[in-house]
Structure 1
Amino acid sequence: MESSSIKKYAAEAFGTCVLTLFGCGSAAVAGSVLGTLGIALAFGLSIVAMAFVIGGTSGCHINPAVSFGLFLDKRLSGKDLIGYWVAQFVGGIVGAALLYFIIANCASLGGVAATGLGCDGYEAASSVGISLIGALVVEVILTCIFVLSVLGSTANEKTAPYAGIIIGLTLAFVHIMGIPLTGTSVNPARSFGPALLMAPIDPTAISQVWVFVVAPLVGAALAAVIWKAFKTAK
């Protein structure tokens, strides 16, 4: 494997780890204080920060759905798509493991069982009890809007320098609506890591995580179709 590829994949793993740790960590550790807006900003600001750290190395996808959208728009090779996906899922698991360790070492939090790891969910695992079908539709829509912001902001030379800020704000924007509904995934790696680490304590998240893998990928594909139609219309 070429050193440039190793650097890209390592950057994606690192960025996804940071997103998972700080985004899910804000929900698990300080969600009652921060509220929906605060958690949404934590996820969005994670993107902004990582865009300036690893954007020049890997493009700062840190999300399998984003990589899939860029692949469908022919901006990412099939080889790199697989490499990015593996790195992103590894990063999500490591980020969740770090969060697990931190919570387990905070006596007053009551442990991981009490706080959770910022997992996504539907029905009883949703704060508003959204149905399975509702969760699928919500995640497709939110991911579609998010990935569209990536495709649009990175395609134009005038907006590309500000893409990290645009994408980060859009991620916060979709989280504001999505957090009460599903917890907001729009990112299979961010959902899988916490669900995997929570499995020995509560199997609900891991049994539902397929929704938060499938729906974001469908949303990314829809975004690619819409973006292609917009480009053709020009």
Structure 2
Amino acid sequence: MTKDMAEEGSFLEKDYYDPPPVAFIDLKELTKWRLYRAVIAEFVATLLFLYITVLTIIGYKSQLNKGSDSCGGVGVLGIAWAFGGMIFVLVYCTAGLSGGHINPAVTFGLFLARKVSLPRAILYMAAQCLGAICGVGLVKTFNKTYYNNYGGGANELADGYNKGTGLGAEIIGTFFLVYTVFSATDPKRNARDPHVPVLVPLPIGFAVFMVHLATIPITGTGINPARSFGAAVIYNKEKAWDDQWIFWVGPFIGAAIAAFYHQFILRAAAAKALGSFRSSSTHV
């Protein structure tokens, strides 16, 4: 082997570890405590997420209603910070236990990318939705009058926007979030760019913050079916249920596009699989 060939071989050699795709259905996983510990972590994290964020929304609306100052309270900027900041904190707390999804759309995207199994994905989504219901339920329990008077933090399409606009906002917003999740957790990126240290929860929290700034005036910002579902269940008004499909269809489409874009365009998974198949065929 020549020197040039040796250098080329060392350059092409992987300097990172890519975990293999998980099994579509792993029955052994269902017998392990770490799965149920992760499910509990997702439940508690989503409960805390909804409790703090919905309370922030209601608090801002009540303060705004009491005075004539349109800038009173935390404002839209403060609400966006509440959502983004809570995601930052909760992903930091739960990443080592469950991966810190706290969002069925994130779980769905990771499932499509074969990062989580089907049973784990289903259990996560159920825990997230139940946690969201309990979180909003606590807000109503402790602040019933304010909760009923100021909309319960439910996602609804704002006046002046059609359903297509709302759906588009949810698709693009969720795409941005799930794409950020994939990028922040990509082992190849972390290995190749050590000079750009990434604290994983930080870009994810900022993605949530930025999307809220852009889409609060349109849909109140869903990008998380559990968040929208939990608020709708407890608030239980017709408008919230009429628009509910937007906050499921939009995020799931956005997550699917993000998974495809990252795995098959940026990481070229399809080309790698085809190349591996051709390589093995030539040796038969």
Give the TM-score of the pair, scaled to structure 2: 0.75
Q: Trace 1:161-172 onto structure 2 (pairs within 5 A).
A: 162-172=199-209
Which residue matches 1:5? 35
Q: Distance in 1 between the 2:131 and 2:185 partners? A: 23
| 1:57 CA displacement | 0.3
Are positions 1:223 and 2:253 aligned together?
Answer: no
Q: Distance in 1 between the 2:58 and 2:257 partners? A: 31
Q: Distance in 1 between the 2:142 and 2:262 partners? A: 41
Q: How far does the alpha carbon of each residue in 1:110-131 deviate from its partner, in whole angstroms, 9 at most, with x for none?
A: 4322112211111xxx1x5311
Which residue matches 1:88? 128
Number of equivalenced pairs: 223
> CA contact under 8 A between 2:108 and 2:256: conserved in structure 1?
yes
Q: Which structure's CA Rg is the greater one? A: 2
Aligned residue type for 2:253: V
| 1:206 CA displacement | 1.9
| 1:26 CA displacement | 1.0
Q: Distance in 2 between the 1:3 and 1:226 partners? A: 33
Which structure has the highest helix share of the two? 1
Say which structure, 1 or 2, has more relative contact order (CA 8 Å, 6+ apart): 1
Q: Distance in 1 between the 2:246 and 2:136 partners? A: 19
Q: Which runs of 5+ in 1 are unaligned?
A: 105-109
> CA contact under 8 A between 2:58 and 2:146: conserved in structure 1?
no
Secondary structure, counterpart of 1:41 in structure 2: helix
| 1:48 CA displacement | 1.2
Aligned residue type for 2:257: L
Which residue matches 2:173? 142
Aligned residue type for 1:38: G
> CA contact under 8 A between 1:198 and 1:206: conserved in structure 2?
no
Q: Which runs of 5+ in 2 are unaligned?
A: 1-30, 65-72, 273-284
| 1:207 CA displacement | 2.4
Identity level (%): 33
Q: Distance in 1 between the 2:53 and 2:262 partners? A: 28
Q: Distance in 1 between the 2:208 and 2:198 partners? A: 17
Are positions 1:132 and 2:163 aligned together?
Answer: yes
Aligned residue type for 2:110: L
Which residue matches 2:138? 98
Q: Distance in 1 between the 2:37 and 2:197 partners? A: 22
> CA contact under 8 A between 2:77 and 2:213: conserved in structure 1?
yes
